[in-house]
Amino acid sequence: MLVLNDDLSDFARAIVRGEEPSSRVVTSYQNYSVAIAIEVYRNNYRGNLHDTLAGAYPVIEQLVGKDFFRLLTRQFIGQYFSRSGNLHHYGAEMAGFIAAFEPAQGLVYLPDVAALEWACHCAYFAEDAATLDIGKLAQVPPEQYPDLILHIHPACHLVRSRYPITAIWHAHQPGASGDFHIDLDSGASNALISRKNDVVVVSALTEGDAAWLQGIQAGTSLGEATATTLEHYPDFNLQTALLKLVAQNVLANFNLGAAP
Amino acid sequence: MNNRQILSAAIGSLLALGLVSNASAAGKKMDMEQCYGVAKTGHNDCSSNKSAHSCAGQATKDRDAEDFVAVPKGTCAKIAGGTLKSA
Amino acid sequence: MEKPANDSLPCIAGIGLRAPHYCEVLEKLPKLGWVEVHNENFFGGGASLRTLLKVREHYPVSLHGVGMGLASTAPLDQAHLSALCRLCDAVQPAAVSEHLCWNSVPDMTINGPMVINDLVINDLLPFPYTQEALSHVARRVDQVQEKIGRRLLVENLSSYLSFTSSEMSEGEFLSELSRHTGCAILFDVNNLYVNARNLGVDAKAFIKALPAEAVAEYHLAGHSIRDGCLVDTHSTQVCAEVWELYEFALQHIGPRPTLIEWDSDIPVLAVLTGEAEKAQQRLEEYHACFK
């Protein structure tokens, strides 16, 4: 192992754990001491991660207020380390963290809003993918439709919640009036996150549409996903669902699974 | 309708509309507007601006989190049933 | 090791392009020599990449990385490197650069038996300039250059601390790195000034000792002062002392493509282009490129 690694590890512990820097770090500088230097790095470390979380979770920040959000991120940062040089990967565990975060226990819907925001964040940075090729689909003989395996666009996510998270999310977007009252008892919501002409869009799906999409996401064939959905949701209308999902750029490509 | 008929009707309507190819053609025309969308609208602004990578140091000192009272004080007040339970 | 000399940044002033100015730049297409952006903001697809490709139709683009961690002791992040390759393929940049710093360690022990694997500190961190570190960084620069198929520009760092174990100066380290790997040097004048004030580095000696032929780009930016420490915040105008050092560099190294960087408290575009204009005037005083 490199000697270099000892110096870097000591430096890292000083930044993330508040430990004393190694004796191989110079202790005094032109106009300040090593303690100030370490504090500048600690501040950068926490500040960069805080800003990243604030960028990924703007609705959570509005819901709880700036001070509470800072408390939340401070504790999150102490618990979850970054593992990528790409900051946009940081913060994935926020929904689970909030669910266990004692001071936020009263806000029962908050973890689901966080899950929705993370999905939006991922959708924004997702790779591009070709949209469903209708010409290619036209060449599939109808008797093989049940075996179609539809691929979901990498920017597409589904977040299902007992609470009206889609309405909560929309009420906190720039340009929203800010004058809203949402009744938590107004019911469950299925938030569909997709990217249309490069803009992240959040829309609501019916229970049936969401159940069907979940089946498709899991790699179930078109025939099987549709049959299962119809068993549970007799009102499910595949034609309406397909047209809506294609319009939202949810479907990317397809292949033919083996016939049952 | 049986399952097979349902699938045929649904996919048939997709084929009839051919809407995907149209939509992507329209997408090209909208490129200019969309790239403005990056900095102008909602989530996109936050993602590409507030949480942007930077090679600069942080100017403002991080305040001590212990100073903060652990009570949410945001728009959660406008969500019925969403405020803190009285302990 | 032969590297194709496909660096084609024009020897004029450019600006760091950040999100608040995307719209205005694309609407008005102001006269800008070139622009530089941070790689990681364009990893993936969607609006960010599309916007950058639009910008690329009108200006030369320099890709400036902040997350590779050339001196990290954790293995090079291959996914990060692949994302950079895809970005290079899409953008066809005029230059690709990174910082002389680390951001990640493998298997860091804390509290005795506890271990944190592949911790990343998302910042630009200094390290001791030793022979061991030189071979380590050189190997990694070779790997990056191999993968992206072009010469990398490596930037000197602004530091708030230094190590007693250093065996050479940062300038000597960079020169040796360039000699070993064929990488170019991105000389950030403000970073040098910050180090001069913080660590007591002799700025003019640093400039005189740099191999002029390896220097491919200059950076200029503003800093802040916190508790006596100069912090490289990129939040203000270039200070008089840095302009003076820039002029000194132009005399000793020669004119090179020069970037104005501004990352926080970002002002209106006109302020940025005004700063670029000041750099441009100085560049013109020292005549055309050596190329």
**Of the candidates C47, C158, C265, which has its C-beta nearest B38's C-beta?**
C47
Q: Do both A115 and A75 map to the same domain?
A: no
Q: How confident is the model at residue B66 (pLDDT cuts 50, 70, 90)?
A: low
DSSP A131-162: PP-HHHHHTS-GGGGGGEEEEEPTT-EEEEES
Asked if residue C4 is part of any domain, the answer here is no
Check pLDDT > 70 for residue A170: yes
A29-43, A168-182, C63-77, C169-183: least confident range? A168-182
Asked if residue A6 is part of any domain, the answer here is no
| C58 contacts on B by Cβ (under 8 Å) | none
What order do you get walking across the sheet with A189-196 strand by strand?
A157-161, A189-196, A199-205
Check pLDDT > 50 for residue C230: yes
**Of the candidates C106, C119, C130, which has its C-beta nearest A81's C-beta?**
C119
Asked if residue C6 is part of any domain, the answer here is no
Q: Summarize the confidence of residues A233-238 as an average pLDDT.
A: 97
Which pair of structure tokens corresponds to residue C244?
A: 């003076």
Q: Summarize the confidence of residues A106-121 as an average pLDDT.
A: 96
pLDDT tens readout for residues C37-58: 999 999 999 988 999 999 999 9
pLDDT value at position B67?
66
State the CATH number of the domain containing residue C226.
3.20.20.150
pLDDT value at position C1?
34
Name the average pLDDT for chain C: 94
Short-list A245, A246, A175, CA closest to A210: A245
pLDDT value at position B38?
47
Query: Which one has a higher pLDDT value, B32 or A131?
Result: A131
Percent share of chain A, pLDDT over 70: 99
Q: Do B53 and C41 touch (CB under 8 A)?
A: yes
- From the CA of A188, how many Å to the nearest CA of chain C? 30
Q: Do both A116 and A199 map to the same domain?
A: yes
Q: Do A39 and C227 touch (CB under 8 A)?
A: yes
Q: Do both A153 and A248 map to the same domain?
A: yes
Asked if residue A13 is part of any domain, the answer here is no
| C261 contacts on B by Cβ (under 8 Å) | 55-56
| B27 contacts on C by Cβ (under 8 Å) | none
Q: Do A68 and B52 touch (CB under 8 A)?
A: no
| B52 contacts on C by Cβ (under 8 Å) | 18-19, 38, 41
Q: Do both A78 and A155 map to the same domain?
A: no
How many independent structural domains does chain C possess?
A: 1
A226-240, B21-35, C191-205: least confident range? B21-35
CB proximity B77 to A under 8 Å? no
Mutate to test the interface with A, among C103, C122, C170, C194 (most CBs of A within 10 A): C122
Q: Summarize the confidence of residues B68-83 as an average pLDDT.
A: 81
| C19 contacts on B by Cβ (under 8 Å) | 38-39, 45, 48-49, 52
CB proximity A134 to C under 8 Å? no
Check pLDDT > 90 for residue C11: yes
Residue of chain A minimizing CA distance to B13: A239
B: neighbours with 3+ CB pairs under 8 Å? A, C
pLDDT value at position C63?
97
Q: Three-class SS of residue C120?
A: strand
pLDDT value at position C6?
47
Domain that holds residue C93: 13-285
Which of residues A53, A85, A107 is at a domain's end?
A: A107
Check: CB of residue C164 under 8 Å from CB of residue C203.
Answer: no
- Residue-range domain boundaries for chain B: 23-49
pLDDT value at position A66?
93
Asked if residue A216 is part of any domain, the answer here is yes
Q: Do both A156 and A249 map to the same domain?
A: yes
Q: Do both A211 and A161 map to the same domain?
A: yes
Mutate to test the interface with C, among A49, A50, A73, A125 (most CBs of C within 10 A): A125
Check: CB of residue A206 under 8 Å from CB of residue A191.
Answer: no
Q: How confident is the model at residue B80 (pLDDT cuts 50, 70, 90)?
A: confident
Q: Do B55 and C66 touch (CB under 8 A)?
A: yes
Q: How confident is the model at residue C7 (pLDDT cuts 50, 70, 90)?
A: low
Q: Do both A164 and A257 map to the same domain?
A: yes
Asked if residue A21 is part of any domain, the answer here is no
Asked if residue A193 is part of any domain, the answer here is yes
| B3 contacts on A by Cβ (under 8 Å) | 146, 223, 226-227, 230
Q: How confident is the model at residue C108 (pLDDT cuts 50, 70, 90)?
A: confident
Percent share of chain C, pLDDT over 90: 88
Asked if residue A82 is part of any domain, the answer here is yes
Percent share of chain C, pLDDT over 70: 96
Asked if residue C5 is part of any domain, the answer here is no
Q: How does DSSP classify residue B18?
A: T
Asked if residue C3 is part of any domain, the answer here is no
pLDDT value at position C130?
98
Q: Do both A161 and A94 map to the same domain?
A: no
Asked if residue A4 is part of any domain, the answer here is no
How many independent structural domains does chain A possess?
A: 2
DSSP C145-175: HHHHTSPPEEE----S--BTT--S-HHHHHH
Distance CA C237, CA C277 (A): 13
Q: How confident is the model at residue B65 (pLDDT cuts 50, 70, 90)?
A: low
| C67 contacts on B by Cβ (under 8 Å) | 53
A198-207, C4-13, C142-151: least confident range? C4-13
| C132 contacts on A by Cβ (under 8 Å) | 2-4
Q: Summarize the confidence of residues C132-141 as an average pLDDT.
A: 98
Check pLDDT > 50 for residue B85: no
Q: Do both A122 and A237 map to the same domain?
A: yes
Asked if residue C119 is part of any domain, the answer here is yes
Start-to-end CA distance of chain A, whole Å, equals 55
- From the CA of A141, how many Å to the nearest CA of chain B? 10
Q: How confident is the model at residue B50 (pLDDT cuts 50, 70, 90)?
A: low
Q: Do both A100 and A225 map to the same domain?
A: no
DSSP A61-112: HHHH-HHHHHHHHHHHHHH--B--SSGGGTTTTHHHHHHT-GGGTT-TTHHH
pLDDT value at position C127?
98
CB proximity C268 to B under 8 Å? no
Residue of chain C minimizing CA distance to A31: C228
A: neighbours with 3+ CB pairs under 8 Å? B, C
Q: Summarize the confidence of residues B27-50 as an average pLDDT.
A: 40
Distance CA C174, CA C156 (A): 7
Chain A, residues 202-241, CB within 8 A of chain C, namely: none
pLDDT value at position C23?
87
pLDDT tens readout for residues C57-101: 999 999 999 999 999 999 999 999 999 999 999 999 999 999 999
Domain that holds residue A202: 111-260
